[in-house]
Structure 1
Amino acid sequence: MTVTEPAPPAPRHTPAAVPPLAARAGSVGGSPVRDILAVTARPEVINFAGGLPAPELFDREGIAAAFRDVLAETPERALQYSTTEGEPSLRTGLAARISAGGLATDADDLLITTGSQQGLSLLATALLDPGDTVLVEDPCYLAALQAFGLAGARVVAVPGDADGVDAQALEELVARERPKLFYTVPTFQNPTGRTLPGERRAAVAEVAARSGVWIVEDDPYGELRYEGERVPWIASYPGAQDRTVLLGSFSKVMAPGLRLGWLRAPAALRRACVVAKQAADLHTPTLNQLAAARYLTGLDAHVARVRDVYRERRDAMVAGLPEALPEGSAWARPEGGMFLWARLPESYDTTALLPKVVRQDVAYVPGAPFYAGEPDRSTLRLCFVTQTPAEIGEGLRRLGEGLRQA
């Protein structure tokens, strides 16, 4: 005899909808840079859109040796949980590098982060309540706008010029807006490549000292200087020491896949960031930290090799722009970093033009997403470090053809 299972009873009501996402999840968009990289992942595309270090320059042998040594000598420690603040050997070596750069630093002044981007998220958690005001450069690093937006902050742009933020405009906005912090990338800024002169850094420090505002000084590119004299960190200027957070990264000088950054901050704020990091990921991977600490002894020689290559690539892009961009365009020659910022004639909208240019198998980042306020739609960002000089020349030829056809 066959036994038939009874059918399940029909539902007596319609299931309720699941609760909605947090409001902040819908108020902040994704990264246009990441979107462009996904669309242009085809190998034939010469991609000036990403901020990607040149992979062929990674010191694979040196980094691999550091990992092997750590795993051979201290495997129990390398594969175990670590302190939230970071491995002492890495913080000690990093503190020595920062001190040699002109800013006296102890290991206890530092928090190791999972990339410097996490530093921004931790600061947003520790400092910002929904509705707080943040001042940023105009234009501004895109992921910082995301981090502040997700924290529910009101973001206001500070006007500037080819040298960077206008200190007088900053002071006026601080008085009017009463912000919690001012965020800046003063050296080889992303996206513009510009560097804030020393006298303006001193003026920014004075504004912060008089007003009580925090300065968040982001410096992922400072070691990539190709010409000119180094400008001291804002954190080293009088009046700024007790109110400046300095962020740094190993992504551009060692390898971004290690996801290693750092945060130097006054004690109370640093402790708040430690608590925020405990809630986020407990600590940055121990093995990566110990390998980086071991690799620090050879880092300067590696960075010197990278600088020589990147300088040549910067020069190739600067040399090719006059033929690639339409008459009336303007750009500046950055002294270092990874990016070149260009402004086309006012009639050009680089966001609208991008799909047409991509058909020529080349890509850039439109400038509009980098603006907290009204964007300049004629601007674009080009990364010059990822391709060889020959590839840069061909990419600029394609860019020029795409712009002429569009």
Structure 2
Amino acid sequence: MVRSLVRPGGSVLIEDPASFAHVASLLAQGANIMRVPRRADGPDIDVLRTLCERHRPVVFVLSSLIQNPTGSCISLHNARQLIEIAAEFDLTLIDDGFNADLLPLGSSRALAPLMLLDNLDRVIHIGGSSRILEPQIGAGYIVAGERYIDMLRRFRLTHWLGNMLIQERVFFRFLDEGLYRRRCERVRTQLAHGAGALRNIFAGLGVTADPSMGGPHLWVDLGEDIDSADIARLMSARGFLTAPGRHFRPPKVVSSEMRFNVTTTSEEALQTLGEVLNRY
């Protein structure tokens, strides 16, 4: 996807914090990466406009719903402003929607994927079933408008060597028979219970988990004057791997935040975290 749209040295926007998968793909392409702060309601629109005016980026890679790592969702107001800026500066929005199917139903906030608000003019939506189904049978998909689809089709023919026919047929059957919807409901419930339990434990440790709309992660602030990279090293020495904030931030930025997996973080790991924080 990135290689189809970005030439080496081209200016590209990503969120801050952002998935390290986004960063890795852009670095591999030799892109000039610039960061747009992610707020609770979406990208910082003022910073976005300033960067567009100064650098004329060609692509903004983001996650509008259940962003990784924060779990936040873009508001309708923010989304409309984002789409207006994209139209003004001819900016392509690549929306990573792999977590979107984990969004709890009946949310008190009005939410919608960017592609529905944009009518697939400048938005390319990327999704898939691997968050819901087993990764071995998960299938990905791209939803894009006419200005992009021919280019993406040609790129797939010349660069894609795999065959996803079996996974695609399995995914279609799950969709066609309503199995995927029921599976989504079950996974959402499991994640909600797991997140609630983790929040209670974090509260007991005196640390704050950011508000999240759902999804597989919690974004936690360990406290003022704490470098989460130091905590990660201490945790690793005791046999626990963690994801410190600097993995999601620009290079050399000190971060007090850490991402935790809702389903795999054990009570033993959290007990160890409490001990490490008390001695820090």
| Shift in Å, 1:283 | 4.8
Give the TM-score taking structure 1 as reference length. Answer: 0.64
- Could you say which residue in structure 1 is the equivalent of 2:116? 236
Report the residue type matching 1:244 in the other structure: V
Contact 1:248 1:263 in 2 (8 A): yes
User: Structure 2: which 5+ runs fail to align?
Assistant: none
- Could you say which residue in structure 1 is the equivalent of 2:248? 370
Question: 3-state DSSP class of the match of 1:305?
Answer: helix
Aligned mates of 2:208, 2:41 — CA distance in 1: 15
Cα gap change, 1:169 to 1:309, in 2 (>3 Å): same
Superposition RMSD in Å: 2.0
Aligned mates of 1:228, 1:375 — CA distance in 2: 34
- Could you say which residue in structure 2 is the equivalent of 1:317? 198
Deviations 1:13-35 (A, max 9, x none): xxxxxxxxxxxxxxxxxxxxxxx
Deviations 1:211-267 (A, max 9, x none): 1110111111112123624611112225x6311100101110112222521111122
* 1:194-273 map, 5 Å: 194-226=72-104, 228-229=107-108, 231-238=111-118, 241-273=120-152
Aligned mates of 2:181, 2:39 — CA distance in 1: 33
* 1:4-403 map, 5 Å: 123-226=1-104, 228-229=107-108, 231-238=111-118, 241-296=120-175, 297=177, 298-324=179-205, 327=206, 329-372=207-250, 375-386=253-264, 391=266, 393-403=267-277
Corresponding residue pairs, total: 276
- Could you say which residue in structure 2 is the equivalent of 1:80? none
Question: 3-state DSSP class of the match of 1:223?
Answer: helix
| Shift in Å, 1:134 | 0.5
Aligned mates of 1:332, 1:367 — CA distance in 2: 13
| Shift in Å, 1:269 | 1.8
| Shift in Å, 1:368 | 0.4
Contact 1:156 1:373 in 2 (8 A): no
Indicate the structure whose relative CO is greater, using CA pairs within 8 Å and at least 6 residues apart: 1
Contact 1:369 1:375 in 2 (8 A): no
Aligned mates of 1:376, 1:260 — CA distance in 2: 36
Give the TM-score taking structure 2 as reference length. Answer: 0.91
Deviations 1:95-135 (A, max 9, x none): xxxxxxxxxxxxxxxxxxxxxxxxxxxx2111111110001
User: Structure 1: which 5+ runs fail to align?
Assistant: 1-122
Identity %: 24
Contact 2:246 2:254 in 1 (8 A): yes
Aligned mates of 2:185, 2:213 — CA distance in 1: 15
| Shift in Å, 1:381 | 0.7
Report the residue type matching 1:251 in the other structure: S
Report the residue type matching 2:275 in the other structure: E
Aligned mates of 1:373, 1:352 — CA distance in 2: 15
